[in-house]
Chain A
């Protein structure tokens, strides 16, 4: 039955303005489905008007219980699950887990494999920072950087795909070395990419860094002081932008990193702009490492040590620490002489980094949540595990 509209009722005259203050505190949900959260992160934001009074992150929307899964499969089987943590640092995650297992079993890694690990990790770092740079632009309302970044990231993905067969979840670095030798054109492709991308970083600078809107929205916004950063266990570019020169590759070297000449990118301001600059500089340093590794790498040789059929993890505690694109990822492995780990703990960089976020965002505006969260460069599956 169709009801026709009756004659309009007269609208009541506006009531007298309330005696209470016009703006009261209220809460809004940012997320779980929000473009700026890069995944499913829910933040309950307490606001007065547009000013942020407080922020409470709610995690766990992508919690898959990877640590529990680690207890029910062998060390080799678990390797591929580490890809699914921070999917933009898949090689570094593989490497971190592999280091823990190799430490437990005393496995030696062939020289060529060590170089391949460094090469893959640094390419991953560049690819991760490229993606970050693109979505950072997009978060701030500029769509073009996203297209530029993905155009260039595609080239790294192609290099990965040729060798590993996968573009995102590689499962390439494994206990004993790497699963396969490099594809025949790897060196040529990688050198071509390095030569292509070095001037492109300057193009990135021209496109975004000099933009007055970007600078106004990032300079002095969301300052993370060094002592607070340390107390929150922040690592990676987010920490280095606060003036703490800490990089696992330098301060607790693993693999063949001591053989390479590179600098850690450090800035002292601790604001969003500093985090932006640190990541751009890290891309340049990674290209330097890639070139050195390609020069030094033996052109042929074994890439994987032969392992016993079952890897029994000796009783005890093992800890491996690796610098992923977002900070320090640590794997804590407890063995009990069985083939399966007794306990796997993953210290993900994003989890600790995000814990500092609610404190520094207080007093800023809603739009700054997006900016600062973007420069923290979070990946939600990494935090939720």
Chain B
């Protein structure tokens, strides 16, 4: 967790800092499985691999076959300025605690993506949660209903532009 002191020269945009051995090992292992279609990106500490929305199911199939038997969660992040939702599939296995994210963007106007609940059943409920709170449709999902909120709830609360009409909090100037 400790970081060596960074000299001012090293902060300049290039060259990219060397990956930590753990991240480099994850990168090598997953790039071998996914091939050229996945783009590695490291912002923060969790390594991520970006694929297009159409390739998510195929990529997940490969990862599942390669021994990633543990899907921690599926979630989304809203980026309204760029008109996209970013779906995050946090993957691991039940052995050595390797972890990374599979990331895909979906269009914010017509958000939909193929389900992966046929690979990991846990995705069933996690995708229902994303559907409930973000309004992203998962195609071929066996049972796409709201899970936490009431069926009559208006809107998708975890979207950034959501305004709670019922419990509207008074915005104070300070």
Contacts and interface: CB of A to CB of B under 8 A. Distances in A.
B46 A318 contact: yes
B120 A231 contact: yes
A108 B2 contact: yes
Interface in A250-309: 251-252
A343 interface: yes
Contacts of B101: 317, 319
A328 B92 CA distance: 12
B147 A251 contact: no
Nearest to A342: B77
Contacts of A248: 97
Interface of A: 59-60, 63, 65, 67-68, 102-104, 106-109, 228, 230-233, 244, 246, 248, 251-252, 314-319, 321, 328, 330, 332, 334-335, 342-343, 345, 347, 351-352, 355-356, 384-385
A342 B129 CA distance: 18
B174 interface: no
Interface stretch (B10-18, B24-32, B53-61, B66-74): B66-74
A108 B1 CA distance: 7
Most buried by A among B2, B73, B120: B73
Interface of B: 1-3, 42-46, 48, 69-73, 75, 77-78, 88, 90, 92, 94-97, 99, 101, 120-122, 124-126, 129, 133, 147-150, 157-158
Contacts of B124: 355
A334 B45 contact: no
Contacts of A316: 42-46
Nearest to B78: A343
Contacts, number: 114
Given A60-B149, A63-B148, A351-B125, A317 B44 contact: yes
Contacts of A60: 147-150
Most buried by B among A60, A232, A317, A356: A317
Contact of A106 (B1, B88, B149, B158): B1
B121 A231 contact: yes
Contacts of B88: 317, 332, 345
The 10 closest A-B pairs by CB, nearest first: A316-B44, A252-B97, A233-B122, A316-B43, A60-B148, A317-B46, A347-B73, A106-B3, A345-B75, A317-B44
B71 A317 contact: no
Given A59-B147, A231-B121, 17 more contacts: A60-B148, A68-B158, A103-B45, A109-B1, A230-B69, A231-B69, A231-B122, A244-B94, A251-B95, A252-B99, A315-B43, A317-B43, A317-B46, A332-B90, A347-B90, A352-B122, A355-B122
B148 A332 contact: no
Given A103-B45, A351-B125, A321 B158 contact: no
A271 B2 CA distance: 43
Contact of A103 (B1, B72, B78): B1
A109 B1 CA distance: 9
Contacts of B147: 59-60
Nearest to B160: A71
A100 B142 CA distance: 33
5 contacts: A230-B70, A233-B120, A251-B97, A316-B46, A345-B88
Contacts of A106: 1-3
Contacts of B126: 352
